[in-house]
């Protein structure tokens, strides 16, 4: 198994988020990641968001990997490869009861 590097905890909410960023292609609002050193990110989804319900309802832990496709092998994939912004690719897996986001950056995260 390749190295997993902690990135963030994602928590879905139906509340309006202060100082949010909006991702139009994914129809989601996000806030909090840069607000503290604890890497907690809150997500609020548009009503017409088409992501799987489990992603919109269950908190997840995100890890960075070097080879996302290899990290998905043999896993229960909930959301296959998706690019929320240029330079980053993500996927969601279910490991037992745990929702996990795996991320791969094509360049340093600060540039994404």
User: How does residue 16 score in pLDDT terms, banded at 50, 70 and 90?
Assistant: confident
Strand order of the β-sheet with 88-95 is 21-23, 28-31, 40-45, 5-12, 60-64, 98-105, 88-95, 76-85
Helix (H, G, I), strand (E, B) or coil at 23: strand
Conformational region of residue 19, where left means phi above 0, alpha means psi within -120 to 50, and beta covers everything else: left
On the question of pLDDT at 14 being above 80, the answer is yes
User: How does residue 33 score in pLDDT terms, banded at 50, 70 and 90?
Assistant: confident
Domains in the chain and their CATH numbers? 5-111 (3.10.180.10)
> Which pLDDT score, from 0 to 100, does residue 36 have?
85
| Separation CA 43–CA 61 (nearest Å) | 13
Query: pLDDT of 86-112, one tens digit each?
Result: 889 999 999 999 999 999 999 877 766
| Separation CA 63–CA 95 (nearest Å) | 13
pTM of the model: 0.91
């Amino acid at each position: 198994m390749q190295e997993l590097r902690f990135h963030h905890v994602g928590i879905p909410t139906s509340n309006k988020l202060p100082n949010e960023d909006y991702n139009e292609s994914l129809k989601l609002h996000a806030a909090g990641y840069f607000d503290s050193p604890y890497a907690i990110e809150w997500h609020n989804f548009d009503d017409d968001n088409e992501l799987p319900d489990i992603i919109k309802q269950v908190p997840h832990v995100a890890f960075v990997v070097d080879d996302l496709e290899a990290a998905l092998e043999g896993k229960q994939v909930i959301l296959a490869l998706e690019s929320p912004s240029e330079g980053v690719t993500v996927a969601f897996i279910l490991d037992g009861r745990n929702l996990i986001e795996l991320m791969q950056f094509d360049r340093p995260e600060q540039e994404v």
